[in-house]
Structure 1
């Protein structure tokens, strides 16, 4: 009883393009159709796309978006803070206040974009039940 090894595996699902799904997620759109809104609120994913019906309930971004937001915000704002200090030498209070506000705004703006991007990657790679 020799079993053919190729019959043991399920047929491979068609490949989904990763880059378009990432771009759609960055724009807060459904990774499948690119039309429907990805979020109900600031970071709350919709259970399914209102346009194409793609099930989004299994997406798990976890700490990835926060990590990427902190990484990019720290790099950009840290470099910018050093540059501003070297060129104009503002008062410490002005520097601390302006950059604290800038860091919060930048991190909060990047967080949903990175979450959308990670959901797009998960959809393209068929992770977590997609």
Structure 2
């Protein structure tokens, strides 16, 4: 008897993707970002946060499965609704003073105000959406969330006592 409760989405995806390394196939080195902010800036520009050479998106909001330059697997990303929240929040904060100024300082009709405000808000929200998603994906990769491998090195200040995650290097708790 077939199991009708199992969907194609419940089956594990068996894909062979080469693990990322610090060299591309031609042997050229690339620099990992030095901070999470740099990785987010790369993602916001629509570039691969890991190598900064290839595109992160192959459609407006659809990230590539694997970076062609550094072979980083981007299928682990789970940006979900967070980029939309960021886009709406920023649009509201940018448009609020503009709306107040338009209403108080101009003598435009209600229809003209509505046309200006709605079209400006839609353009701004759509314009912010892809950079917000790229930055979110980069942040997930930087912190090693959702199956990504954390690739940044840890310094002595971050973990001064090897093997002890909460140590301060002086033997004190």
In the alignment, is residue 37 of structure 1 matched against residue 66 of structure 2?
Answer: no
Coordinate RMSD, CA, aligned: 1.4
Shift of 1:17: 2.3
Structure 1: segments with no counterpart, 5+ residues: 1-14
Number of aligned residue pairs = 116
Residue in 2 that maps onto 1:110: 128
Once the two structures are superposed, what CA deviation does each residue of 1:102-124 show, in whole Å capped at 9, x if it has no partner?
11111001001000000010111
TM-score, normalized by length of structure 2? 0.64
Higher helix proportion (structure 1 or 2): 1
Q: Cα deviations across residues 70-90 of structure 1 (Å, max 9, x unaligned)?
A: 111112112211112111131
- Bigger shift: residues 66-75 or 16-25: 16-25
CA shift digits 1:55-103 (9 cap, x unpaired):
1110110110000101111121122111121111311111100111111
Structure having the higher Rg = 2
Partners of 2:34 and 2:80 in 1: how far apart?
22
The runs of 4+ residues in structure 1 deviating greater than 2 Å are none
List alignment gaps of at least 5 residues for structure 2. 1-32, 149-173
The whole-number CA distance in structure 1 between the counterparts of 2:65 and 2:101 is 44
For the pair 1:90 / 2:108, whether they are aligned, the reply is yes
Name the residue aligned to 1:28. Answer: 46
Quick one: distance in 2 between partners of 1:17 and 1:126? 13
